[in-house]
Structures are given as structure tokens and as C-alpha cells.
Amino acid sequence: MNEVIKSLLAHRSVRAYTEKAVEDEVLDQIIGAVQIAPNWVNLQHVSVIVVKDQSRRKKFAALCGDQQHIAQAPVFLIFCADYYRTWLACRAKGQPFDEVVGQIDNVLVGAHEVGIALGTAVAAAESFGLGTVPIGDIRLHALDAVTELGLPKYVLPLLGLCVGYPAEWPGQKFRLPKEAVCFEERYNQSLAPLLAQYDEAYAAYLMERPQNSRVGTWTQLAADFYRPPYDHYPEVPELLRRQGFFHSEQL
């Protein structure tokens, strides 16, 4: 097993950080890896906002549901789907943009490029012995985040990432079996037996964890999370409207 695979397989989410700063040269290499990551047609629809100022990290911790590890981590990266540069290019060539940006595929492209970028940042950071944890709740108060970051039209804040030196390494979360997520040639829809087996193992894992042990199963976790009415990020429709992606009749 090579060192890259060892690092990837050792991944875990870190929510406690030391006060040691992330070196500028290390952060530059992480961002460099993000920039070279795969993207669609080399249009590079991702921007990263680096937040180091402690008072601003505290503000984002509050905006993201009072997640204090955002304030504790020395660096908070915010990954944005960015079509502002595309708009500038179209304007320079005298080409309209508003009539095409609202196609749903543009949101999908921006979202998957942000996912690739964040995954790359996680892998790069962990190769330096840093810890990370992704933050989806940057979308919880998305309109305030847009204002705080000074984002122009056509830019969406989609994910955050805490980066810092770990104060502790937590245990790894127990994942689904490979057979439930990787299929040969065609999707296997007969997953109920695998999920039942996973539920049994997952429940035992939860009870045996040294910290934050609890009772439950994975299927119950999934059902509870998506229990109607599901409205975890209520500002997202307005975010899409204000940032120029959708008109009211499209939502």
C-alpha cells in the first residue's frame, strides 16, 4: 500500500485543533492542489475564500449553527461555485449570459466541481498531517455568508472546510460495506439484506465507541435526517435567485 492510499484510508473528521498556525507554504500547496484538480472543460468554476481572522472565524461559527471548531481551527476555507469569471468572459465578448446561467446543469456542474475541490483539499491537507472537517452549514445562513464574503452575482457559497493541526485524532466512522456502494456493470437494487447487516454492525459500533456512544442504526439515522418536512437549508432557493441562477418561476 503506497503512502497516498495510506493517507486516504486514514481519513477522519477532526473537530478539535491546537493553536498552531497552518504555515503559509503548506496552505499555498493545498490551494495549488485544488487549482489543478479535475474540472469541466477547464472552465474552473470554483473559488476558495481563505478565512484566518479569528473574529471572522467566530462569526462564521455562529452563522454555521454555532459550530465552535470553525472558530478554533486556524483556517476556514469556503468553497464557492463561481460563474462570475464566466460572466466577465461573456460580457467581454458581447455575449449574453443571464439567459443560459439559469439552466439546472450549471448548478450541478458548480456543485460537483466544489465537491472535487474540497475532496482534493482534504487529501492535500491530511498529507501534511493536518486535520479537516467539511461544513455544509455554510448554506444555513447563506445570504449572510454572501454579504460577509462580498460575493458578486453568479457565485454560490456551498461548502466550508476547517483546517488545522489536530488536538486529538477521533476514531473513524463505520462505513457501508463495499458491496452496497460499488457495483459491477449495473446497479444492484437488492440492497435491503446488506443494509440490515450494516444496521446490526453499525449499532454495535455506536455502543462501543469510546466517546459519544449512543444507540441507533444507520437506516434510522437516514430516515430521521430526511423526515418530512425536510427544510434544513431554507435560504437556498432565495440564494439561487439573488445570485442570478434561477428566477422565481423556476423554483
pLDDT, one tens digit per residue, over 194-240 is 999 999 999 998 888 766 667 899 999 999 999 999 999 999 999 99
Q: What is the pLDDT of residues 89-140, one digit of tens each?
A: 999 999 999 889 989 999 999 999 999 999 999 999 999 999 999 999 999 9
The answer for residues whose C-beta is within 8 angstroms of residue 121's C-beta and 6 or more apart is: 30, 31, 33, 34, 48, 77, 79, 132, 161, 163
Evaluate whether 75 touches 27 at the Cβ level (below 8 Å): yes
The CATH number linked to 9 is 3.40.109.10
Cell of 186: 449495473
Domain boundary among 147, 171, 195: 171
Instruction: Return the SS3 of 236.
Output: helix
Domain boundary among 155, 171, 187: 171
Domain boundary among 171, 200, 220: 171
% pLDDT > 70, the chain: 96
The pLDDT value recorded for residue 80 is 98
Residue 190 has pLDDT above 60, yes or no: yes
Instruction: Return the SS3 of 97.
Output: coil
For the chain, helix, strand, coil in percent to 5 are 50, 15, 35
Per-residue DSSP letter, 103: S
Evaluate whether 13 touches 170 at the Cβ level (below 8 Å): yes
Evaluate whether 122 touches 85 at the Cβ level (below 8 Å): no
Cis peptide preceding 229, ω within 30 of 0: yes
Q: Is the same domain home to 118 and 79? A: yes
Q: What is the pLDDT of residues 35-47, one digit of tens each?
A: 999 999 999 999 9
Q: Is the same domain home to 117 and 33? A: yes
Q: Is the same domain home to 148 and 176? A: no
Residue 220 half-sphere exposure, CB side, CA atoms within 13 Å? 9
Q: Is the same domain home to 179 and 158? A: no
Q: Is the same domain home to 126 and 55? A: yes
Q: Is the same domain home to 155 and 217? A: no
Average pLDDT, the chain: 94
pTM of the prediction?
Answer: 0.94
Q: How far, in Å, CA of 131 to CA of 125, rounded?
A: 7
Q: Is the same domain home to 153 and 181? A: no
Q: How far, in Å, CA of 89 to CA of 83, rounded?
A: 10
Q: Is the same domain home to 65 and 139? A: yes
Domain that holds residue 203: 172-251
Number of domains in the chain: 2
Q: Is the same domain home to 43 and 64? A: yes
Q: Is the same domain home to 125 and 214? A: no
Q: Is the same domain home to 148 and 184? A: no
Q: Is the same domain home to 166 and 177? A: no
Evaluate whether 135 touches 64 at the Cβ level (below 8 Å): yes
